[in-house]
Structure 1
Amino acid sequence: MSGNLLTVEDLKVQFQAPEGLVHAVRGVSFRVRPGSTVALVGESGSGKSVVSQAILGILPRNGRIAGGRILFDDPASRRMVDIAALDRDGQPMRDLRGGRISIIFQEPMTSLSPLHTIGNQIVEAVRLHRDVRPKEARDLARDMLARVRFPDPARALDTYPFELSGGLRQRAMIAMALVCRPALLIADEPTTALDVTIQAQILKLIKDLQAELGMAVLLITHDLGVVANLAEEVVVMYRGEVMESGTREDIFANPGHPYLKALLRAVPRFDMAPGERLVPLRSVRSEGGRLLEQARTPWPPGADAAGPLLKVEGITKRYGARGGGWFGAKAGAGTLAVDDVSFAVKRGECLGLVGESGCGKTTLSKIVLRALTADSGSVTFNDHGTPVDVLKLSGGELEAFRRRMQFVFQDPFGSLNPRMTVFDIIAEPLVIHRIGDAAERAERVKELMALVGLDVRHLKRYPHSFSGGQRQRIGIARALALRPDLLILDEPVSALDVSIQAQVLNLLKDLKERLGLTYLFISHNLAVVDYMADRIMVMCRGRIVETAPRELLFRDPLHPYTRALLSAVPEPDPARPLALTELEEGRSSNPAAWPEPFTIDDQHHPPLVHRGGGHWVRADLDMTTREVA
């Protein structure tokens, strides 16, 4: 008829909330052609996911389609169906949902049942939509797991979600969504929770399966780099309305709407000019700081001669090696999470630590903070000219030291107590360390709120009342309450939209300069670390494989793992697509598969070699006489 697989016409969606009617989607229109990829782009709250819920008939009970049509050219019945007019619980809608239209959700761990095996969950999807025997359904599930490139599809059928990595869980979700060969796949932020290398593999997988199965893809994302690599047409949404739409080339080459231009300016890029700042859609105004500056203990002359602010030497940590029975654990048993790691952080600098999930970044940071105990090694902190052996502290000395070093967590919601007000959350460190009386604490909390750009009138609110970016700023305020010298920032923006991410990154930069802070900034996104860090360490399988000043590392990366991380970062530019075919499955993070002189296995244990200018790379000693390809 129209030639379109899906046509959304003037869609309006409303929610009945306690404060009144919320107009979540306001007259949205777009089309998806057979076999094509259309991206719905916008921040959280723009209405992207609500549109997908309306298409699948899975709106919450307090939501309803208030107007418009959702026309789907059903390949099974060969007729046009208006999804908006169907009963969401009726058989026609249930036939479409999961059969001809499927969805991949953002967080695979919460979308998969933890009580059922991967095989059971895929088989259930098959038997809901096909009249097949259990054995045939299981064979189809195994074949689909093979298509999404599970290492051992037959074994994967009997594994539970918690036994799989984030990338494999997302592949299981894709297998479940595609096992009935839908005509339309809705991918709702399918790679947001994944490392850049795993994200690149998932993007390649979706493109390959799309070509193989001939399906259309509706991609929902806030990541313009992903859009540039996957989409053919782009629809930009803001507050429930379409701001701009067109082909990928037109959208990126000639953005017309101010909102789209602002989104593009908010994305960290490798080619940013020296001193250039990200431009968030809404700036955060940081005020105050007088009390924190007064509480700052000046560094005596010559204190830096005692060494860097933080010095870590030979830290090793192995999990799962605790003893059992009469003879204890076997030597070398368990998983080696951190392997002989050494580094230093100078006062006033930002040291970036990058690597994929599971490489040991967070374990290392928790050892430095004394939240975990190392098997061997030392951590020395320069406390205003006095070296402190951190790993030997105990009792009151350890409690006093914790004021000097604080942590900002990755999850801005899970790290805040939902039963405490914002005032109590920020004041808690002051109470624990018995700093000031009630009046002084109240004054400090108000100043901290203003310092991170939040309204002091909202101190009596609870965390659920705030957006993700606001919650992360509350976490930063709590970390600054004790006036630390060193902040450990563990993936502080990975859960945030690009525009909110820009707000938080700019705020962290400003606070570092104003308060004289030192950062250990942990991330898997090299573009973000490039924006924040002075020096960067690259970590893989518990080892530091390369470290260098920021500009030197990105101009001349030597290690193959560093190069793989760089090549996996999607840029918001269609002219510079990801080399998806070169990002081999898992080889980049397999030390035994690295070429000489970088190979690490039972016979090869290369050290870190200095290449000049503070650039170190883990390779054979004779590398100084070799040319690195």
Structure 2
Amino acid sequence: MANDQATAAGDLLRVEDLHIGFHLHGGLTPAVRGASLRIRPGKVTALVGESGSGKSVIAQAILGILPTPAQISGGRILFNDPLDPGASIDIAALAPDSTAMRALRGGRIAMIFQEPMTSLSPLHTIGDQIEEALRLHRSVSHEEARPLTEEMLGLVGFPRPARAYDRYPFELSGGLRQRAMIAMALICHPALLIADEPTTALDVTIQAQILKLLKDLQARLGMAVLLITHDLGVVANMADEVAVIYHGRIMEAGTVEAIFSDPRHPYLKALLAAVPHFDMHPGERLVALRNVPVQTDALVGLRPPPRPRDPGATAPDVLLRVRGLTHRFAVRQSAWRRGGEPPPPAVNDVSFEIRRGECLGLVGESGCGKTTVSKIIMRALTPSAGELIFDGGDGPRDLLAASGSELVALRTRVQMVFQDPFSSLSPRMTVGAILREPLEIHGIGTSASRTERVRALLRAVGLDPRHASRYPHSFSGGQRQRIGIARALALGPDLLICDEPVSALDVSVQAQILNLLEDLQRELGLTYLFISHNLAVVDYVADRIAVMCRGRIVELAPREVLFRAPVHPYTRTLLGAVPYPDLGRPLDFATLTRGGATDPGTWPGAFRDCGEGPPLQPIEVGAEHWVLAHADADARELRP
């Protein structure tokens, strides 16, 4: 014990030469190989790495919740509890179901997970779940626990804690569910909080709010934080110390200043080069860790056939015109309130154009209507009003009026790449069958030509054609997204709708997919509608950007204009909430007020629709730069 105390002196938790393996196929497959790191009292240590690097396995070992096949084969995890100074506990030597481990887990060491919806029980209220954690570690009655639970709900930012106590997880937004998870983790005032990708599933503004909340709570409660993430922008704004892990080994560790100002290991340098940022030069490419170039010879048969041009066409060559698009989802009156106003439309008078060969970025927070617009364009939803005019070069066609064989033909011209590459691919079909299916549905080619096209599609996206007989589960996340892109290209479309295609991927894999999309656009002459909430990603791929808020396009401009001179307050808030992987450009947490981004009540009068007077309308404030405002607004309010 004396040696343990000397080894971990000054550290809240120290991981020493940790080895963890999984019993698979009759042997022990290593997942963590001699990892060592420290967490100091009251400080934030960031553990950075890609999926599969061992980050979460280390966190599970600290909490004693490793899955059954896992085994700690060497090393120590020393925890110095501030409530028991002088005593050091080796967590690695404790049985997961022992009394000592149960006292630590949730009581002294707590964890918040990446996806709050799957971590919270849908059958119990938020208050019951938080109170359960409290009563498990403290001898308090329900009458004593409820005020403490409501106090914690207020501490993490619930405006009405007493009401929130009785609500179920499905009644809360993603940001509020994550706040509930934080409340559950902190209800017993732990000495160490493990945050495993706590903001990956959140929008950029909500992410900034959660990061600010964690910083405030850390300072108020005096706890240490182990932050597990692959987002180097989050690391730069949160961490005091950083450990970079790759294939179970710590490649580099040090203070956040040393890591960002003088990275030494090639893997860390590669991670930094793979992050898209707003200072990239025109034509500059992301540097992927494992580059998978497009095989241009495989693209020859994938290029769409030349289509006859309309001699009356004028520049710019518009592929799709969206005019006055409005959609309101049917909601029972009892679901909102009897006799009151119905909820606002999900899409409200949206208009924009997509020019042939360009990438139009569509950005905004979850729930703003981005995906609804994409579903309407795909004819998966029928809007309440509006028109969609598609001109593939052979004359304008009304997508909403098309039916029968005309609609089937138009659907080959517009295809979609989905957000989650796993759930969008059938687990019961081989990759070859998945890519062949669109060709069979539309009766394209013979059996032999379809097989050859499947091989060409796989080669075009950097995959081995010999893997066509495999199932989706045998591929990585990045490879599955490549399969999704190949499927979208199978019919030779003109327009590709990319709905958050990289939000579920690591930064290094994200760089691969973004570079692939750029290469395919250049080689195949594709046109993109790129939907995302990550402005740095949109800045890298888009030519023009439309910003959407509460179902409306509030600003539209060329990429370089929008990021250099934003006009609308919502656009400015979005840009201000993006975390940079640069210590010289920290987030201004003081300006990121809760709920201010999408609340029109906080906007200047020029951009606020009060329901009285003339409605808001698009106003041109510069060359191809439009903003939604009042026509009689003061010109000074419409300046960048």
Q: TM-score, normalised by structure 1?
A: 0.97
Write out per-residue CA displacement over residues 114-145 of structure 1, whole angstroms, 9 at most, x where no aligned residue: 11111111111111111100122222111111
- Secondary structure (helix, strand or coil) at the match of 2:202 reads coil
**Aligned CA distance change for structure 1 residues 539 and 133 (closer, same or farther; 3 Å):** same
Determine which of 53, 61, 83 is the counterpart of 1:54: 61
Q: Give 1:304 shift.
A: 4.1
The whole-number CA distance in structure 1 between the counterparts of 2:26 and 2:608 is 61
Q: Deviations over 1:138-194 (max 9, x none)?
A: 221111110000122111111111111111111010000000100000000000000
Count of residue pairs the alignment pairs up = 624
For 2:350, the equivalent position in structure 1 comes to 341
Give matches, 1:75-474, under 5 Å: 75-78=82-85, 79-287=87-295, 288-293=298-303, 295-300=304-309, 302=311, 304-305=313-314, 308-321=318-331, 333-474=342-483
Matched-pair contact (CA < 8 Å) for 1:304–1:385: no
Distance in 1 between residues matched to 2:312 and 2:405, nearest whole Å: 24
After superposition, the Cα gap between the structure-2 partners of 1:429 and 1:332, relative to the gap in structure 1 and judged at 3 Å, is farther
In the alignment, which residue of structure 2 is the partner of 1:68? 75
1:385 Cα deviation from its structure 2 partner = 3.0
Q: Distance in 2 between matches of 1:321 and 1:392?
A: 25
SS at 1:391 equivalent: coil
Listed as ranges, the gaps of 5+ residues in structure 1 are none
Query: Which of 552, 567, 570 lines up with 1:561 in the alignment?
Result: 570
- Show the counterpart of 2:22: 15
Pair 461,303 (structure 1): closer, same or farther in 2 beyond 3 Å: farther
Which runs of at least 4 in structure 1 moved beyond 4 Å after TM superposition?
A: 321-324, 329-332
Q: What is the DSSP-based 3-state SS (H/G/I as helix, E as strand, rest coil) of the residue aligned with 2:608?
A: coil
- The percent of aligned pairs where both chains have the same amino acid is 64
CA distance in 1, matches of 2:121, 2:223: 26
Cross-structure match for 2:626: 616
CA contact (8 A) 2:606 2:634 kept: no
How much has 1:21 moved relative to structure 2?
2.1
Contact 1:320 1:333 in 2 (8 A): no
Distance in 2 (alpha carbons) for counterparts of 1:304 and 1:182: 67
SS at match of 2:346: strand
1:35 to 31, 42, 62: 42
Change (3 A) 1:65 1:493: same
Aligned position for 1:493: 502
In structure 2, what is the Cα distance between the partners aligned to 1:509 and 1:620? 37
1:139 and 1:322 map into 2 onto residues whose CA distance is 35
Q: Which runs of 5+ in 2 are unaligned?
A: none
1-structure distance, mates of 2:582, 2:631: 39
Which residue in 2 is equivalent to 1:547?
556
Question: Following the alignment from structure 2 to structure 1, what is the Cα–Cα distance between the partners of residues 118 and 503?
Answer: 18
Q: CA RMSD in A?
A: 1.6
Partners of 2:310 and 2:393 within 8 A in 1: no
Using the alignment, how far apart are the partners of 2:173 and 2:559 within structure 1?
Answer: 30
Deviation at 1:20, TM superposition (A): 3.2
Matches of 1:135 and 1:320, distance apart in 2: 41
Distance 1:66 1:303, change over 3 A: farther
Call closer, same or farther: CA 1:426–1:128 in 2, change over 3 Å: same
Cα displacement (A) at 1:439: 1.0
- Which deviates more, 411-420 or 296-305? 296-305
The answer on whether the counterparts of 1:118 and 1:172 sit within 8 Å (CA) in structure 2 is yes
Structure 1 pair 611–94 and aligned structure 2 pair: CA distance change class (3 A):
same
- Which of residues 582, 585, 592 is equivalent to 1:583? 592
Aligned to 1:6: 13
Cα separation, 2, equivalents of 1:266 and 1:52 = 25
8 Å CA contact 2:13–2:80 kept in 1: the answer is yes
User: Offset of 1:300 from its aligned partner?
Assistant: 2.6
1:77 positional shift: 3.8
Scaled by the length of structure 2, what TM-score is found?
0.95
Which residue identity is paired with 2:55?
A: K
| Structure 1 SS opposite 2:469 | coil
